[in-house]
Amino acid sequence: MHKTKNLYLVLFLAIIFKIDLVKSEDNIINPNRNFFKVVDGDTIHIMGKRYRLHGIDAPEATQKCERNDKIYFCGTEATEHLKSLIKNEKKVWCKKKAVDRYKRIVAVCYYNKKNLNKLMVRNGWAIAYQKYSKDYVDDENYARKNKLGMWEGRFIEPYKWREKNR
């Protein structure tokens, strides 16, 4: 009988714990690595929720750029760069800013207190999405000046590329 009560208590606490995590949209900590995915350079999924990184625009997966007179998939490299910034998926959390027309949570996301949105722009793998925010303009200028990421070569701004290719 004692074991049964303990089992019910554990199950009850597990249910409460999971419901609490699902309810919290403003700050979500990812407790289970199976629920985390980097989709592209400006989108991640945590526990089935889609997060669009606020204030930045990264190239699309099939977008090509040029560096050293060679064409490369800059969208793929941007995605890989975002993945490289995250060493432990359980330490990624996001602060909700809004919900976009695609029902994604627009957020500033962090890894170990480091702003991933800022790092993507500052490292040159996303641009400051000035249509929606001026938060990362200085970081874009830094990447451009230092020829980092996409700024090492030539590219079409992701939002312009989407207009032409969709």
Averaged pLDDT in 10-residue chunks for the chain of 166 residues: 48 43 44 75 94 97 95 97 91 95 96 96 98 97 98 97 92
Q: Tell me, what's the pLDDT at 166?
A: 80
pLDDT at 1: 53
Q: In total, how many domains does the chain have? A: 1
SS3 state of residue 73: strand
pTM across the whole model = 0.79
What phi and psi, each to the nearest 5 degrees, are found at residue 71? -85, 140
Q: Are 58 and 44 in contact (CB under 8 A)?
A: no
* Residue-level pLDDT at 34: 54
136: three-class secondary structure by DSSP: coil
Do the domain assignments include residue 22?
no
pLDDT of 85: 95
**Using an 8 Å Cβ cutoff, are 130 and 63 in contact?**
no
pLDDT score for 109: 97
Q: Tell me if 110 is assigned to some domain.
A: yes
Whether 14 maps to a domain, the answer reads: no
Contacts of 43 (CB under 8 A, 6+ apart): 50, 51, 52, 53, 104
| Cβ atoms of residues 71 and 154 within 8 Å | no
Query: Domain for residue 85, yes or no?
Result: yes
Residue 10 in any domain: the answer is no
Structure-block tokens of residue 134: 């001026």
The answer to the question of residue 102 being in a domain is yes
Nearest CA-CA partner of 59 in 76, 80, 45: 76
- Please report whether residue 145 resides in a domain: yes
Whether residue 16 is contained in a domain is answered as: no
Q: Indicate which residues carry an active-site annotation.
A: 52, 60, 104
What pLDDT shows up at residue 9? 45
Q: Round to the nearest angstrom and report the end-to-end CA distance of the chain.
A: 63
Instruction: Domain of residue 113: give its range.
Output: 28-165
Q: What is the CATH number of the domain that holds 124?
A: 2.40.50.90
